[in-house]
């Protein structure tokens, strides 16, 4: 195990999984196959020695931006969105536990009967003990996103990198769905991503990553095995970092 751990590219990773990625479509809010697949891919990397923390989104259930349409105040909508992330966090915890993985869910909004409150030092201890830590309820504050929560928690637990799983294999110069000729970045600086308003993460999350010098890997979920590959440092998505590089393919 120690030899393997010595060869790991990243010791501690913060993985951001959107709610949408878990979404079940006709199967309901959570797709059973996706849930199981994500859990087994995380398990594989964790067993090979990567310390894995996960921030889950809630977009498959509720997003704050729909509050207006429902005549719900913005902040209440955001509270609903943060509670939605807890449903996903608990589902992922169970899926991991079904595979024998030790986990903890830590919530940014206190709900003692369901999850531990988020305490930075305690989160680090869990990771050191090899537990997969799932952070729910975003940052605990309205007006933020789970992307920002991912960078914030990533910085707090001193992760080597934040990995954002998406439907496409990295960051493109324009939307590849509408522009099949769009080129993909392999490397990108934070400044470039911010100035060009590229679809990496929202600007709050990006600015925080830049300030904390915390790189972000954007990679695709579409191929089975990609989460494990990314966590083991073997994925070729887009790496966004402080380096002044900009490489397109
Ligand atoms: N949210 C929030 N503060 C946070 C994180 C999330 O208010 O720190 C709310 C916000 O309304 C958001 C919803 O929770 O729309 C779900 O999170 P997000 O949209 O980031 O989930 P994802 O798109 O990753 O599934």
User: Burial level of 82, CB count in 10 A (0-12/13-18/19+)?
Assistant: buried
**Ligand 1 atom with least separation from CA of 146:** 20
pLDDT given at position 89: 98
Backbone angles phi, psi at 196, to 5 degrees: -90, 5
Residue nearest (by alpha carbon) to ligand 1 atom 21:
57
- Is residue 145 lining ligand 1, measured as CB closer than 6 Å? yes
Q: Closest ligand 1 atom, CA of 147?
A: 20
Banded pLDDT at 2 (limits 50, 70, 90): very low
Quick one: tokens of 10? 């990243």
Cα dihedral sign, 169-172-177-181 = negative
Q: How large a percentage of the chain has pLDDT more than 70?
A: 98
Q: What is the pLDDT of residue 66?
A: 94
Mean pLDDT (the chain) is: 94
Using DSSP's 3-state secondary structure scheme, residue 164 falls into: strand
CA distances to 23, 118, 119 from 126, in Å = 28, 12, 11
Give residue 5's pLDDT.
61
Per-residue pLDDT tens digits for 47-72: 999 999 999 999 999 999 999 999 99
The pLDDT confidence band at residue 91, using thresholds 50, 70 and 90, is very high
104 lines ligand 1 (CB under 6 A): no
CA 15 to chain centre: 4
98-115: average pLDDT: 98
Q: Residue 36: which region, alpha, beta or left (left: phi > 0; alpha: psi -120 to 50)?
A: alpha
The answer to whether the CB of 118 falls within 8 A of the CB of 30 is: no
pLDDT tens for each residue of 126-148: 999 999 999 999 999 999 999 99
Report whether residue 144 contacts ligand 1, using a CB cutoff of 6 Å. yes
Give yes or no for residue 215 CB within 6 A of ligand 1. Answer: no
- DSSP letter, residue 183: P
Q: Is 18 in the pocket of ligand 1 (CB under 6 A)?
A: yes
Does residue 19 have its Cβ closer than 6 Å to ligand 1?
yes
Ligand 1 atom closest to 64 (CA): 11
Torsion angle (degrees, nearest 10) of CA 193, 197, 200, 206: 70
pLDDT digit string, tens, across residues 216-227: 999 999 899 999
149 touches ligand 1 (CB under 6 Å) = yes
| Reported confidence tier of residue 85, pLDDT bands at 50, 70, 90 | very high
pTM of the model: 0.95
CA torsion sign, 238 to 64 to 57 to 135? positive
Contact 81, 63 (CB under 8 A): yes
């Amino acid at each position: 195990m120690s030899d393997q751990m010595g060869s790991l590219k990243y010791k501690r990773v913060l993985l951001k999984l959107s709610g949408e990625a878990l979404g079940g479509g006709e199967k309901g809010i959570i797709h059973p196959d996706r849930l199981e697949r994500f859990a087994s891919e995380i398990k594989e990397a964790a067993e090979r020695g990567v310390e894995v923390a996960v921030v889950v989104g809630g977009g498959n259930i509720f997003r704050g931006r729909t509050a207006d349409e429902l005549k719900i105040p913005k902040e209440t909508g955001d509270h609903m969105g943060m509670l939605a992330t807890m449903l996903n966090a608990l589902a992922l915890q169970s899926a991991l536990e079904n595979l024998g993985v030790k986990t903890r869910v830590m919530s940014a909004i206190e709900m003692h009967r369901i999850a531990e409150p988020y305490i930075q030092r305690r989160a680090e201890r869990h990771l050191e003990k090899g537990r997969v830590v799932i952070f729910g309820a975003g940052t605990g504050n309205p007006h933020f996103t789970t992307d920002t929560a991912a960078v914030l928690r990533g910085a707090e637990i001193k992760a080597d990198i934040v990995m954002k799983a998406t439907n496409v294999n990295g960051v493109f110069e324009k939307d590849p769905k509408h522009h099949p000729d769009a080129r993909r970045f392999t490397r990108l600086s934070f400044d470039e991503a911010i100035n060009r308003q590229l679809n990496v993460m929202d600007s709050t999350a990006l600015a925080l990553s830049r300030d904390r010098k915390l790189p972000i890997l954007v990679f695709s979920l579409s191929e089975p095995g990609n989460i494990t590959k990314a966590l083991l440092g073997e994925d070729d998505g887009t790496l966004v970092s402080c380096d002044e590089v900009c490489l397109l393919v």
